[in-house]
């Protein structure tokens, strides 16, 4: 949605929303291959739009990086609901943490941009926590209530630990280290 001159909001036209979605999807692909400093022309071409359309929706590169980051965070957080419906609590927790590990390990270029000190990104780390801490907390609570893990795990601390473990850039190492952390959640679970 974009603000109007009167301060009210109006819906984005369907064709404009398709262009925005195409640009965000194209940027995600281009960023994965070439990093967040990839040429704008490449992103616009992949999205099938002109440069004027690109800049109308994303006047600054930071606007596009923010849109990709938020959409990816939302998709990862929202996946927990489906996992909880399909798996027992511990399996859902493990499956979601694996997705989170892939999310963190697969977006190092974006993460570097987001944490580079640009004022345009100042709200993104808080957005990350606001979306992921409650998601992880609900998964932890369900697994603890089922007696599958210990009940004294703080979701913010665990999220921070996983984030730090995934900072190496080595996806195999990230997965092994996070698996050890998950195994540790079971230690002492019967003494809650």
Residue-level pLDDT at 14: 84
Residue-level pLDDT at 6: 40
Whether 93 and 149 have beta carbons less than 8 Å apart is answered as yes
Q: Which helix (H) or strand (E) holds 174?
A: helix 171-186
pLDDT in tens, 13-67: 888 889 999 999 999 999 888 888 889 999 999 999 999 999 999 999 889 999 9
Residues of the chain with pLDDT under 50: 1-9, 191-192
Residue 181 and residue 164: Cα distance in Å, rounded?
12
| Domains defined along the chain, listed by start | 7-59 (1.10.10), 63-192 (1.10.357.10)
Residue-level pLDDT at 113: 58
Residue-level pLDDT at 192: 43
Please tell me what DSSP assigns to residue 12. P
**CA 166 centroid distance within chain:** 13
Residue-level pLDDT at 129: 93
Residue-level pLDDT at 121: 80
Taking the model in full, what pTM does it have? 0.81
């Amino acid at each position: 949605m974009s603000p109007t001159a009167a301060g009210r909001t109006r819906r984005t036209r369907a064709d404009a929303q398709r262009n925005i979605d195409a640009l965000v999807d194209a940027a995600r692909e281009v960023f994965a291959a070439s990093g967040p400093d990839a040429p704008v022309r490449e992103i616009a071409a992949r999205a099938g739009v002109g440069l004027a359309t690109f800049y109308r929706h994303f006047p600054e590169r930071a606007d596009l990086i923010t849109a990709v980051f938020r959409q990816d965070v939302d998709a990862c957080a929202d996946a927990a609901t489906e996992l909880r419906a399909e798996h027992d609590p511990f399996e859902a927790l493990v499956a979601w943490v694996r997705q989170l590990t892939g999310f963190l390990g697969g977006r190092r270029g974006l993460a570097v941009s987001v944490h580079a000190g640009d004022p345009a990104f100042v709200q993104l780390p808080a957005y990350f926590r606001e979306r992921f801490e409650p998601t992880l907390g609900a998964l932890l609570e369900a697994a603890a209530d089922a007696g599958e893990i210990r009940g004294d795990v703080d979701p913010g601390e665990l999220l921070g630990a996983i984030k730090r473990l995934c900072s190496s850039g080595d996806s195999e190492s990230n997965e092994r280290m996070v698996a050890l952390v998950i195994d540790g959640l079971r230690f002492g679970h019967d003494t809650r």
